Chain A
Amino acid sequence: MLLRFVADDTNYDFFKYAGATFGASCVAMVLSLVVWAFMGLNFGIDFQGGTTIRTQSEQAVDVGAYRAAMEPLGLGDVTISEVFDTSFGEDRNVAMVRISAQDGAESVTPETIAAVEAALQEVDPSITFPSVESVGPKVSGELIQTAILAVAASLGAILVYIWLRFEWQFSVGAVVALFHDVILTIGIFSLLQIRFDLATIAAILTIIGYSINDTVVIFDRLRENLIKWKQRPLREVMNISVNETLSRTIMTSGTTLIALVALLVLGGDVIRGFVFAITWGIVVGTYSSVFVAKNVVLFLGVKRDWSKPDKTEGNQFANIDS
């Protein structure tokens, strides 16, 4: 007997609470934007410039002592945070020291880094520095620009492709769903103050890739059913399509989530933020392809009956036969 997550013939009415689900999505998006506006994003050095030093020590991390040791250096804004991970042993105590970009310095100053390392070694002789990364403010500004450009260009290309392959209503629906996913992801990053860096951008792009994949599959079925059921109302055809693809949606999202949760738990702290973003995105993306993309298409309406001519009277291509 094979495993079935979804019965063969489901007949859920996904649009019964269309107002509620769509409304919830709108509220979530607005909340995300508000959180983003008020709390801001915890930009990593990729986007803000500055230096992060990862420290590792056999002794327990004493944030206060680290801070005291670095105080005399006059480095301005210094953030020290301890990192926990299940894979760390007793003798591995890791912390991240983040130093904001120094005023007026376009490039990175090795002297600063050396001074910080010396000061920390003073506190804890067993300390080592497994990674030191510095990004100048000039580059970080450009990195933001290219990242935004990449996301915008991807959205634009998807808009055009779906418009060509389906109809413009689908294309709008898909892109609205993508915006929904991206904004909610930014919202959660802002809310939990997870570090937002270049890898996060890659994660957002992964989410876009996954979400569009999911949306297109359902759209494809919808298109097929629209031809098959010419007379049924759009709402019903949509319900049929979602029900028919439900098994596949659960299966695919399920396997992908399993893989991601394994990475999230076992993959180590270095990629945790990144994997978290994707995991979140898969959940949101699956939701949005069912409850956002299609609602938009439903609101916009799709031309159903291709046998009748368009209402194009009055324009230069007026119908001669009529």
Chain B
Amino acid sequence: MLHIPLWRRIFIWSVVALGLLLALPNVFYTRVEQANDARAEIETLGSTPERQAAADAWPSFLPSGLVNLGLDLRGGAHLLAEVQVEDVYAGRMDGLWPALRDALRDARGEVGTIRRVDGGGDAITVRISDPAGMPRALEIARSLANPVTTLTGVGAQDLDVSGDGDELTVRLSEAERAATDDRTIRQSLEIIRRRVDEVGTREPTIQRQGEDRILIQVPGIGSAEELKSLIGTTAQLTFNPVVSRSGDPEGRSGPQEVVLPLLEDPETFYTLERSPVVTGEQLVDAQPSFDQNGRPAVTFRFNPTGARAFGDYTAENIGSPFAIVLDEEIISAPVIQSHIPGGSGIITGNFTVEGSTELAVLLRAGALPAELVFLEERTIGPELGQDSIEAGQIACLVAFVLVLALMWASYGTFGIFANLALLCNVGLLFGLLSLIGATLTLPGIAGIVLTIGMAVDANVLVFERIREEARTARGPSRAIQLGYEKALSAIVDANITTFIIATILFMLGSGPVRGFAVTLGLGILTSVFTAIFVTRLMVVIWFERRRPKTIEV
């Protein structure tokens, strides 16, 4: 009656053993964590005796996956940033202006003289003196457009060109804006990731959230402020033509010109053309080095496009000064001595060695393409997290002991099976969480508590049912079998409804709600498995050995 085939027994025990094995590293949390860190360091920085010793503290043949502790347990900083994607549109337009200007000038005979008027940051508005030439101007502007390079924007052009009377307006098309937004977010993600990695903290979470948000969680960092200054340094590098030099910050400047101070001498101002010749985005490499006078400098290299633009400009403007602008400040304004064709150059200025190294790192990591606005920031001190863990551990231990004792007192031998299964359940849950690298937070712990409640419930349902059946059924083996069979539908229905909730929470929720959903959802899987299969197998094995005439449940 209570037969379970051998292969199924083996399967059930293997799953339990595998789960417990995967959960094992969490018992030796600190040791495994240090070993994992040491291995990662050996990989990148090479081996030292200390690192080797730390790595050997945990045998490499054992699993080493750990449940990540969330910031509320470990301490660290949490930031939610919104990327100002619109920033990029203006930059794109400024980049387009010289090409449009030159193309329209070449057609001066048809469109007359041209003048750029202020049309808002994200558009170029050009007034032409001969309105009859508008069709020709539109044609020229459209010829500068390129197809949008995304799957969804097939056939769309990146520019929206329109003419009204004598005004020509060029702006980015909807499809291109969408594509640009996406690119901007990806680029920001990548740059933030590189900057956070430079600090070498453990397991930062950097992920996109929604349309234009980025979530950054870094455990172990002292404050959100620190994290912000780390990722918020923009390092926007451009190379602009110099129009004039003066000592007046309010110096005269045309509509497409800008006045910026010189970094080493804030009394000196230069008037620059707003449209850069090359930008830092076209930079492929930057290294700290020294100039011919032995002073710290930064050497850099452009990609082919940048190299061509830089080469052309230097060839045409020998003898004119040229400004290297970093974050709205002029680092230096050297005079172009000769044509620089290879796309590499050197930034000299009043640098210290640290300064040049830092600049090189910033340039290499690239500039954030758009400004970040921080919507949410949380700092959780490590000692607070430690307190929570300790309090939580004690509470869980006490809760566990009480529940186990109550089950044993109520169901005797069967209670012990349920207790063993409950321990298996928690082990399996931690194994699963370690396997997928989930993050455990305080609400997540609540999910585990609820899971324990559910796991107890499934066993209670079965035992109560066996108890009922034992009163009427013929013989204990029949009672056990009926008990399991009849309790099944209640267990399944109750757990499926809860699982539905967990799934919805996972899909809709974020932050703590999601952490809760993960442990609850996985916990339901493991508790159903242990309640239906593991305890049953234990009961069957016990029954086969003892062959009791009556059972006491």
Residues of A whose CB lies within 8 Å of any CB of B are 2-5, 8, 54, 87, 106-108, 110, 113-114, 128-136, 138-139, 146-147, 149-150, 153-154, 157-158, 161-162, 165, 198-199, 201-203, 205-206, 208-210, 212-214, 216-217, 219-221, 224, 244-245, 247-248, 251-252, 254-256, 258-260, 262-263, 265-268, 270-271, 274-275, 278
Contacts and interface: CB of A to CB of B under 8 A. Distances in A.
A256 B392 CA distance: 16
A40 B486 CA distance: 46
16 contacts: A2-B552, A5-B410, A106-B373, A107-B373, A130-B381, A149-B508, A154-B504, A158-B501, A220-B494, A245-B464, A247-B467, A252-B457, A256-B450, A258-B402, A259-B400, A266-B391
Given A146-B510, A202-B516, A268 B387 contact: yes
Given A217-B494, A266-B398, A153 B504 contact: yes
Contacts of A209: 450, 497-498, 501-502, 520
Consensus secondary structure, chain A interface: helix
A147 B513 CA distance: 9
Given A158-B500, A259-B452, A2 B380 contact: no
Given A134-B224, A158-B501, 20 more contacts: A54-B384, A87-B387, A106-B373, A110-B228, A131-B384, A132-B378, A150-B509, A154-B501, A157-B501, A199-B512, A201-B513, A212-B494, A217-B490, A217-B493, A248-B464, A252-B457, A256-B456, A258-B406, A268-B387, A270-B387
A245 to B, nearest CB: 8
Nearest to B516: A202
A205 B519 CA distance: 13
Contacts of B402: 258-259, 262
Contact of B453 (A5, A150, A256): A256
Interface string B482-520: 000010011001111110111011001111110010001
B375 interface: yes
A210 B501 CA distance: 11
B552 A220 contact: no
B446 A134 contact: no
B15 interface: no
A298 to B, nearest CB: 20
B230 interface: no
Given A108-B376, A135-B376, A213-B498, A251 B508 contact: no
Contact of A2 (B383, B392, B409, B500): B409
B377 A221 contact: no
In the complex, the 4 A-B pairs of residues with the closest C-beta atoms, listed nearest first:
A268-B391, A130-B381, A256-B453, A259-B399
Given A198-B511, A209-B520, A268-B387, A216 B378 contact: no
Contact of B500 (A107, A132, A154): A154
A275 B448 CA distance: 13
A212 B395 contact: no
Residue of A8, A131, A165, A245 contacting most chain B CB atoms (<10 Å): A131
A139 B494 contact: no
Q: How large is the interface on B (under 10, 10 to 19, 20 to 34, 35 or more residues)?
A: 35 or more
Nearest to B445: A271
Contacts of A134: 224, 376-378
Interface string B383-406: 110011011101110111011001
Contacts, number: 233
A188 B109 CA distance: 80
B411 interface: yes
A2 B410 contact: yes
Given A8-B471, A135-B376, A130 B500 contact: no
Contact of B494 (A216, A256, A262): A216
A2 B411 contact: yes
A153 B504 CA distance: 7
B509 to A, nearest CB: 5
A263 B464 CA distance: 27
Interface in B2-21: none
A161 B442 contact: no
Interface in B415-451: 442-443, 445-447, 449-450
A271 B392 contact: yes
A263 B375 contact: no
Nearest to A142: B210
B333 interface: no
Contacts of B380: 130-131, 133
A210 B376 contact: no
Given A220-B489, A248-B460, A212 B501 contact: yes
A270 B384 contact: yes
B46 interface: no
Contacts of B489: 220
Contacts of B394: 266
A117 B403 CA distance: 44
A274 B501 contact: no
A108 B501 CA distance: 33
A130 to B, nearest CB: 4
Given A110-B228, A132-B379, A216-B490, A146 B453 contact: no
B302 to A, nearest CB: 35
Interface string B442-482: 11011101101110110011001001100100000000000
A135 B375 contact: yes
Nearest to B465: A248
A213 B457 contact: yes
A213 B411 CA distance: 22
B446 A213 contact: no
A132 to B, nearest CB: 5
Contact of A106 (B80, B375, B454): B375
Given A134-B376, A270-B72, A158 B497 contact: yes
Nearest to A223: B489
B378 A133 contact: yes
